[in-house]
């Protein structure tokens, strides 16, 4: 599905050109591509989430610099770059040790997925598998399960996103 989408492949090629440590395209772009394909529809792209891991420079300014580089390489795209070595500062989590750990801390299982191009091969990172994504099941990841201090964040995201109004057959677990 990803290989056949020339737009997403061009995004992956652009990110690969940055030569940033452990860079991936993740979350909504990938989730929406799959759900749109299953529904034979096209939804708008809110942002293109790019994650990477670099403990040497966890500054917000470096993320903005990388966004500017991506915009120069592929203009007029809604790039959003986040260093997973910095993301714990935005939450109460312990510092992440990798991009994988960052993706594992995403709130929902069908969003906790990332892809990248590496030597012309598409690689997929999915800490909780891809079944929920393709079965259109939305469940909290382990960090956002009921009775966790983060469950309310998951619930609010689900309400705010209103995915069930776009893709009507979603199964959403609260």
Tell me the per-residue pLDDT of 79-90, one tens digit each, with 9 for 90 and over: 999 999 999 888
CA distances from 64 to 22, 27, 61 (A): 17, 19, 5
Q: What is the mean pLDDT of residues 100-127?
A: 96
> Domain 6-128 has what CATH class?
alpha beta
Can you give the pLDDT at residue 133?
98
Q: Which residues contact 117 (CB under 8 A, 6 or more apart)?
A: 9, 12, 13, 15, 16, 123
Q: How confident is the model at residue 145 (pLDDT cuts 50, 70, 90)?
A: very high
Give phi and psi for 42, each to the nearest 5.
Answer: -135, 120
């Amino acid at each position: 599905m990803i290989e056949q989408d020339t737009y997403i492949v061009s995004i992956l090629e652009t990110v690969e050109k940055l030569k940033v440590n452990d860079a991936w395209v993740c979350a909504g772009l990938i989730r929406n591509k799959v759900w749109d394909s299953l529904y034979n529809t096209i939804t708008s792209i809110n942002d293109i989430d790019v994650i990477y891991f670099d403990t040497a420079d966890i500054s917000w300014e470096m993320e903005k610099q990388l966004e500017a580089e991506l915009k120069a390489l592929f203009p007029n795209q809604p790039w959003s770059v986040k260093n997973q070595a910095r993301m714990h500062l935005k939450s109460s989590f312990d510092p992440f040790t990798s991009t994988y750990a960052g993706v594992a801390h995403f709130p929902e299982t069908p969003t906790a997925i990332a892809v990248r191009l590496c030597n012309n091969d598409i690689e997929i990172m999915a800490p909780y598998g891809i079944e929920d994504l393709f079965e259109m099941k939305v469940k909290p990841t382990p960090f956002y399960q009921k009775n966790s201090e983060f469950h309310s964040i998951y619930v609010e995201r689900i309400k705010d996103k209103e995915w069930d109004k776009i893709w009507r057959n979603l199964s959403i677990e609260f």
